[in-house]
Structure 1
Amino acid sequence: MTDKAGELAGELALFAWASPSYPVGAFAYSHGVESAVERGDISDGATLQDWLLDILKSGTGRNDAILFVATWKACREAPGRLADIAELAVALATSRERRLETLQQGSGFLAATRAAWPCAALERHASRIGGNTAYCVVFAATVAAHNLPLRPAVDAYLAAFTSNLVSAAVRMSVIGQTEGQAIVARLAPAIRDMAQNVQDADIEDLGGFAFRADQAALHHETQYSRLFRS
């Protein structure tokens, strides 16, 4: 295989891993968006966009991106750090459902990738991070195992994360499909900027203040009527 052909195969793999058709079960989770709709915090396209922007800049989106970068770098430079990063990623889940969301997607991602994109390096990384692994960690470990570059992978991860939450809002009839795609497009610069800003970040940079989103995740656990698991 030529270098160019190998690069193309890597790009196609990244597209597949970030696709909504990749069997990680993301469609079953709203990351608290359903609760935010029920409480009136999200009522239309504008409020949804603001909500997602806060998550990207100050909440789970930012932290996941930092953990993604830390994992990718550890796979390449310090594999002994992987277990600690994986444990921290799970500990940062702010609710029982958030923990379930990231662990089940991580488990689904690893199972599908082992079957469809087998890689000896991924098996080595997986043995260090364990079976109960946050989605962002196992995604990043897979990217590193296949020798794919960091920056486009972070872009892809954040775009997939954002698109799934927009899809949840569409399925709750808060917005239509076309407006949903327009919101994803308007959030693209924020995704790009976040992916760029975390390139040199490390574990010490973790933190956030998207408190309303965290409260929504907690509230969802006792919400009476639900379509989603988070």
Structure 2
Amino acid sequence: MHTAEPLVTPAHKAGPTPATALLHILWLASPTLPVGGFSYSEGLEAAVDAGRVHHEASATQWLLDQLHLGLARSDLAVFAQALPAWQRGDLARISALNQWVLQTRETHEFRLQTEQMGRSLLEWARHLGGASELGAGVFERLHSAALNPPTYPVAMACAAAHAHAQLRDSLLGYAFGWAENMVQAAIKSVPLGQSAGQRMLARLAQDIPAAVEYATALPDPERQAFTPMLAILSARHETQYSRLFRS
């Protein structure tokens, strides 16, 4: 088995404090992280165009369904397996998880999104460089893994591993970052007001812990990417006449 060096803190060097690890997760989960998550609607814009999402209640239900039927069973489950694999330096496992993500994107649009965001995270780490041990460590590990390209959940798991964050905290941060981006997409495309967006975010926050627990316990044979209507709408979005979001 081809492995990398495990993420072990030298005995003479103090590891990050819990506060630093938490701040790193907040940093990585922030919509301001320049990886482009804000530029995608993940089929939501096409759902609005098709009349399936048309007000706050329908947008909320759409995102709750996507959280439980899509994110929890796919990207969160991959993240939950990839983070410990990065920690122990198991590149064979990491490569297999990365390939699974690439092979199970249901549309060209979804595949381009995960590839672009993974590459952007690598570039973020490269440009951060010596300004942060986190950036330097993430770039070195992702670059040496030669995933070609790294997918977003696998790249983010690498960053969380270098942040020395707890798995559950990392997953909560990843899911909440996704929720913030998707609520902003709903505000722009439905459209909705900021107060509606905050109510939607509050509702998603209630369900995120359960989605994280489900993803953490999901064995490999049960991991899946199967959301047929979302895939159909994503495929339609690729050729949608008028779009606010990237395709």
Picking from 162, 174, 179, the partner of 1:162 is 179
State the SS of the aligned residue for 1:225. Answer: coil
The aligned runs of 1:100-139 (5 Å cut-off) are: 100-116=112-128, 117-120=134-137, 123-128=140-145, 130-139=147-156
Distance apart, 1:2 and its partner CA: 6.7
2:7 is matched with none
Bigger shift: residues 84-93 or 70-79: 70-79
* Contact 2:122-2:138 at 8 Å conserved across structures: no
Residues in 1 aligned to 2:52 and 2:86: alpha-carbon distance in whole angstroms:
39
Residues in 2 aligned to 1:210 and 1:136: alpha-carbon distance in whole angstroms:
18
2:170 is matched with 153
Distance 1:169 1:158, change over 3 A: same
Residues in 2 aligned to 1:118 and 1:213: alpha-carbon distance in whole angstroms:
34
* Contact 1:69-1:202 at 8 Å conserved across structures: no
* Contact 2:24-2:163 at 8 Å conserved across structures: no
Matched AA of 2:26: F
Bigger shift: residues 58-67 or 186-195: 58-67
Picking from 47, 64, 81, the partner of 2:93 is 81
State the SS of the aligned residue for 2:41. Answer: coil
State the SS of the aligned residue for 2:74. Answer: helix
Residues in 1 aligned to 2:204 and 2:221: alpha-carbon distance in whole angstroms:
26
Residues in 2 aligned to 1:107 and 1:125: alpha-carbon distance in whole angstroms:
10
* Contact 2:80-2:215 at 8 Å conserved across structures: yes
| 1:94 and 2:88 aligned | no
Picking from 76, 92, 95, the partner of 1:65 is 76
Residues in 2 aligned to 1:138 and 1:8: alpha-carbon distance in whole angstroms:
22
Residues in 2 aligned to 1:209 and 1:85: alpha-carbon distance in whole angstroms:
17
Matched AA of 2:192: I
1:39 is matched with 50
State the SS of the aligned residue for 1:182. Answer: helix
Bigger shift: residues 108-117 or 178-187: 108-117
* Contact 1:59-1:209 at 8 Å conserved across structures: yes
Distance 1:73 1:122, change over 3 A: farther
Distance 1:121 1:174, change over 3 A: closer
Residues in 1 aligned to 2:178 and 2:23: alpha-carbon distance in whole angstroms:
18
Picking from 195, 218, 221, the partner of 2:212 is 195
* Contact 1:79-1:125 at 8 Å conserved across structures: no
* Contact 2:73-2:218 at 8 Å conserved across structures: no
Residues in 2 aligned to 1:28 and 1:125: alpha-carbon distance in whole angstroms:
23
Unaligned runs of 5+ residues in structure 2 are 1-12, 129-133
State the SS of the aligned residue for 1:199. Answer: helix
Picking from 197, 207, 214, the partner of 2:231 is 214
Unaligned runs of 5+ residues in structure 1 are none
| 1:14 and 2:25 aligned | yes
- Please provide the CA RMSD for this pair: 1.9
* Contact 1:70-1:201 at 8 Å conserved across structures: no
Structure ID, larger Rg: 2
